[in-house]
Amino acid sequence: MPKLQGKVALITGAARGQGRSHAVRLAEDGADIVAVDIAAPIPTAYYPAATPADLQLTAKLVEAERVRVLAAEADVRDQGALDQVVARALAAFGHIDIVVANAGTASHAPTWELTDDQWQNVVDVNLTGVWRTVKACVPSMIARGLGGAVVLTSSLAGLHGYGNIAGYVAAKHGVNGLMRTLANELGPYNIRVNTVCPGLINTDMMMNDETYAMFRPDVESPTLEDARAVFRTMQLLPLDWLEPRDVSNAIAFLVSAEARAITGVALPVDGGQLQRG
């Protein structure tokens, strides 16, 4: 029997990147999937937005694993929209067992040059949106009385300070703090709460011209190959970067019965980047 057969997992930011990978990976283990994404631009983001077509492709990839899927467009900054998605999920599937609060965005600039919108959008999506997702999902999990698992997407930026992404660093540190509080609050209900803290991951947020320029300010109009020379020095393992699947595999473990005694943990998935001297 698949490890997650009979479970329902709600995943935000599921239209592409890590969120899509998480949806497909948990579907492979038998979970029915509620795939949520804004599927629209956030003006302060420096990379192209996911689209409704991206979200529908995620749904098709999940369906190919012979599980059920509900795809919903919703902004994690909008509590009413999230509450409606959860109501639809409960009507369709009867319960939610797993929550992966993954939706995120980013902006680049020195801290003192960030605009109000750059700061607010990053904090609202990456931190407040995580809280809103949990707020929407957890009451039904508590009421059902059968426990569950919550994984919040933080980052190495939630464990370390990095220049030029102050809003992102602040929000991701906040996600780890929120996780620790939730682990205390939800432990008595047998609901486990952990974070994953990815390093350099091959997604649209990382692989773009603005990021290459941030890592290679010494090169005019740097390319991926220029940035690769820096990327490969950052991990202990011989990796240029990690793939979304690497994070998805960690999440699949954290939400499974094998991790039944693990809660309150911020798990780096980084090829050893955090430990590099």
Tokens of 254: 């954290």
Domains of the chain with CATH codes: 8-199+243-267 (3.40.50.720), 207-240 (no CATH)
Q: Per DSSP, what are the bridge partners of residue 72?
A: 36
Instruction: Give me the catalytic one of 46, 47, 162, 168.
Output: 168
Cα distance between residue 7 and residue 251, in whole Å: 14
Radius of gyration of the chain (CA): 18
pTM of the model: 0.96
Range 154-162 contact pairs with CB under 8 angstroms and sequence separation of 24 or more: 154/179, 154/195, 154/196, 154/197, 154/266, 155/197, 155/198, 156/197, 156/198, 156/199, 156/268, 156/270, 156/273, 156/274, 158/195, 158/197, 158/266, 159/197, 159/266, 159/268, 159/274, 160/274
Q: In this predicted structure, what is the pLDDT of residue 277? A: 59
CB 266 within 8 A of CB 176: yes
pLDDT in tens, the chain (277 residues): 899 999 999 999 999 999 999 999 999 999 999 999 999 999 999 999 999 999 999 999 999 999 999 999 999 999 999 999 999 999 999 999 999 999 999 999 999 999 999 999 999 999 999 999 999 999 999 999 999 999 999 999 999 999 999 999 999 999 999 999 999 999 999 999 999 999 999 999 999 999 999 899 999 999 999 999 999 999 999 999 999 999 999 999 999 999 999 999 999 999 999 998 5
Q: In this predicted structure, what is the pLDDT of residue 20? A: 98
Q: How many residues does the chain have?
A: 277
Give the distance, in angstroms, between the CA of residue 148 and the centroid of all CA atoms in the same chain: 18
Q: In this predicted structure, what is the pLDDT of residue 276? A: 85
Q: Per DSSP, what are the bridge partners of residue 149?
A: 98, 192
168 is catalytic: yes
Q: In this predicted structure, what is the pLDDT of residue 170? A: 98
Q: In this predicted structure, what is the pLDDT of residue 99? A: 99
